[in-house]
Chains A and B, each alone.
Chain A
Amino acid sequence: MSVRLKLALTIFATGLVTALLVVATLVYSFQRFENETAYRRGMAFLVRVVSMYDNIFDMHEQSPEEFQRWLRGLVLYEPDIELYLLDAAGLVLAKTGPAPLKPGLKVALGPVRESIERMDTSYVMGDDPERMDAGAVIVAKPVHRAIARTGAPNAGYLYLVLHTQQLPTDRMDVLRSSFARPAMVGVIAVVAFTTLLALLIIAAVTRPLRTLTRAVATLSQRGLAAGLTVAPTSPLPAPTRDEFGQLTGAFEMLLDVCRRQWNALRRTDHIRREGVSNLSHDLRSPLTATVACLETLDGRWAEAGAPADDRRLVEIALRNTRNAAAMVRSLGDLAKLDEPEYRLRPEAVDVGELLDDIVLRFAERAAQKGVAVRAVPAADAAGSAPPHARIDVELFERAIANLVDNALKFCPTGCTVTLAARRLDTQIEVSVSDDGPGIAAADLPQLFDRFYQSRSSVAPATGDGGHGLGLAIVKRIVELHEGEVAVESSLGHGTRITTRWPAG
């Protein structure tokens, strides 16, 4: 869940709760207001009755039936008011309501006393003799006997019950239409408005964050290198003064450090490549001269019939110089292949054909060593198309030849080196496998690193030992084709190197 959504939901919920609380408070206040109004009305009514008639209790004692009729006459025009006459213990003596009461019904005297004694109270809730399970707003006033008008204890109470809930069904309707509906509309409007406002504010506040996120995403997609060449100016949003601005600033600083380090790295790499390239270049002329000298000398001594020992010396010198020359050539080639502006010259060829040709190239050397080199026909089921690849023929042949060369170098007499090609989905897989001594597992990860020469593998005694560049060149060539190279090997069982090339 995004921060924006979380914030919006929180604000929405808060608004809703606030609105509900406001409504609840309003409803409660309205209830109180109703009760208080009713209480005041009841009080005024009762005060008027008690002050006008000082012989209420006597009237009751003289004729209960007459009294009851008189009592009813009092509330004839007050449909929400019921009057009761209580004795001093709270026993109901007379009533105005038509409903029959349980004989000997008593109402609680606490509220009665509260209503009489406390003048500051807003209203009093007490028993409703008609519905003893629910309370009602009550008002009470003491009534006395005519004989003992002063100083004597109360003979009883006049007890008034206001049915605020029962009466005003139409008033509840009024409440709903004139108060609830506008209130509800107002609440909904306020909540909606608040939420909308919150969304806008959140959007405005998080905009720099999103811009920054987008910028960082673009940067990580394009990479620092591309960012450096494509847009030397900052791809980040202009920093503001707030926290986001600080974050942008911090990120900009980080980026700057990365950029500097990347530049330094590139410079170092460039210098290294240039250095290797120049070195290889500078070594070529002296090597050319030396090889030419030795060849000339070799030719002359052969004609002149020089001693066999002397001729052997020239031969050794020539072979070693040629090896040195091959190394220098490989170094230069690798430096060249490393150059960013190096371009492949791909053409569509039948890889199977090419493998056959490579086998032919190595046939003589393999025969001398007693190693069999063969290409197995492409495993194309149901006569499907032969494995055509779109490759730079020279480089492909160079890579595969390097692999065969390597296998020949390390395999003893009696081994077999097998070349195979097969079509995958969009790639051609070419493998070179042998049943030679294999490569130690510890050496495998670095096998394709340049200048890596396994210490543990059996060094060939022929003097044309590997110089740790052959496989690095293979890797580079495969990389240039956007392919893959992988090696599997187990000591004593052989090695299999698999390369993948783009299909034609």
Chain B
Amino acid sequence: MSALILVAEDQTDIRELLVMNLRAAGYEVEAVADGPAALASQKERASDLLVLDLMMPGLDGLEVCKALRAQGRSTPILMLTAKSTELDRVLGLELGADDYLTKPFSLAELLARVKALLRRADLLRAAQANVGGEGRILRNGELEIQPAKRQVRFRGTAIDFTALEFDLLLHFASHPGHVFSRAQLLDAVWGYSHEGYEHTVTTHINRLRNKLEVDPMRPELILTVRGAGYKMRDEP
């Protein structure tokens, strides 16, 4: 069964193109032209993913996002925005969007993001379904990861991570000693590889180090390999 995607975009041309290409990629697609219609459609039939334009008449993308999250829905949301601002991104992600794309974007990129969001939603569902079981446990020195529960313990204490931070840490921990470039990490963890977003990887590695290293400036767990990328140290 293919995933159902709702596209809410007020500009007819772009909406049409999105629908056309998402269908061609094998998804089932529903399209609306404004915010209220998007909410109404979700009431009728929940989709697996929403592609929302930020600027729409009636209710804008952020408000739709807020309304859906208020109803307790965790449907992944990809926000399309014409403003390329850090502020918008922060705002969007804080209000519950899972990812965003700045116009003008390429279709390949949009499709990659959609795929990544759907995959992550699947993984999350699987993890939630698995809450009862212990599953396997990854260990590296004092670091202990329970992928099924999405739990991390370091030196015996539980540490909170955001979804992306956890995914990145899990990826490193699953391949100790293996060196990844930022582009590879972007591809493997974020699910897309696109020029200009590598700094996101840097920022997330920074955050992991701040949570897991004694001196984040002299890391011992997540190491830098000059001219190649990053790796987690081999299990001691």
Contact = CB atoms under 8 A, between A and B. Distances in A.
A333 B104 contact: no
Given A325-B104, A356-B227, A285 B82 contact: yes
B203 A288 contact: no
B146 interface: no
Given A281-B83, A350-B217, A288 B104 contact: yes
B84 interface: yes
Interface in A135-193: none
Contacts of B202: 349, 353-354, 357, 393, 397
Nearest to A401: B196
A284 interface: yes
B107 A295 contact: yes
A433 to B, nearest CB: 18
Given A349-B202, A393-B199, A360 B104 contact: no
Contacts of B198: 357, 361, 397
Interface stretch (B12-20, B58-66, B67-75, B131-139): B12-20
Contact of A292 (B21, B216, B227, B229): B21
B45 interface: no
A85 B109 CA distance: 141
A361 B197 CA distance: 11
Nearest to A292: B17
B224 interface: yes
B103 interface: yes
Contacts of A108: none
B129 interface: no
Contact of A289 (B11, B181, B216): B11
B217 A357 contact: no
Nearest to B88: A336
Contact of B224 (A296, A348, A356): A356
A394 B102 CA distance: 15
A443 interface: no
A405 to B, nearest CB: 11
B20 to A, nearest CB: 6
Contacts of B11: 285, 289
A16 to B, nearest CB: 72
B142 interface: no
Contacts of A398: 199
B175 to A, nearest CB: 18
A265 B199 CA distance: 36
Contacts of B181: 357, 360
B27 to A, nearest CB: 15
B195 interface: yes
B125 interface: no
B226 A356 contact: yes
A386 B86 contact: no
A285 B226 CA distance: 41
A500 interface: no
A332 B83 contact: yes
Contacts of A349: 202, 206
Contacts of B226: 356, 377
B99 to A, nearest CB: 16
Interface in A313-332: 322, 325, 328-329, 332
Interface string A286-316: 0111011101100100000000000000000
A281 B81 CA distance: 10
A291 B102 CA distance: 13
- Interface range, B side: 35 or more
Q: Which of B11, B20, B82 has the most CB of A within 10 A?
A: B82
B203 A393 contact: yes
Contact of A388 (B13, B85, B182, B217): B217
A295 B105 CA distance: 11
Given A289-B14, A360-B227, A345 B86 contact: yes
B91 interface: no
B212 interface: no
A89 B66 CA distance: 137
A291 B106 contact: yes
B217 A386 contact: yes
B14 A336 contact: no
B108 interface: yes
A295 B206 contact: no
A287 B200 CA distance: 26
A342 to B, nearest CB: 8
B224 to A, nearest CB: 5
B106 to A, nearest CB: 6
B116 interface: no
B199 A287 contact: no
B33 interface: no
B227 A296 contact: no
B95 interface: no
B13 A289 contact: yes
Interface in B92-147: 102-108
B134 to A, nearest CB: 36
A385 interface: yes
Nearest to B13: A289
A284 B82 contact: yes
B104 A291 contact: yes
Contacts of A377: 226
- Top 7 nearest A-B pairs (CB, nearest first) are A292-B17, A288-B104, A325-B104, A289-B13, A284-B103, A287-B104, A394-B199
Interface of A: 281, 284-285, 287-289, 291-293, 295-296, 299, 322, 325, 328-329, 332-333, 336, 342-343, 345, 347-350, 353-354, 356-357, 359-361, 375, 377, 385-386, 388, 393-394, 397-398, 504
Interface of B: 11, 13-14, 17-18, 20-21, 24, 82-87, 102-108, 181-183, 195, 198-200, 202-203, 206, 216-217, 224, 226-229
25 contacts: A284-B103, A285-B103, A287-B103, A288-B104, A289-B17, A291-B107, A292-B18, A293-B17, A296-B107, A325-B104, A329-B84, A342-B87, A345-B86, A348-B217, A350-B224, A354-B202, A356-B224, A360-B182, A360-B227, A375-B227, A377-B226, A386-B217, A388-B217, A394-B199, A397-B199
Given A299-B24, A329-B102, 15 more contacts: A284-B104, A287-B103, A287-B104, A288-B104, A292-B14, A292-B17, A292-B21, A295-B21, A322-B106, A332-B84, A333-B84, A336-B83, A353-B224, A361-B195, A393-B206
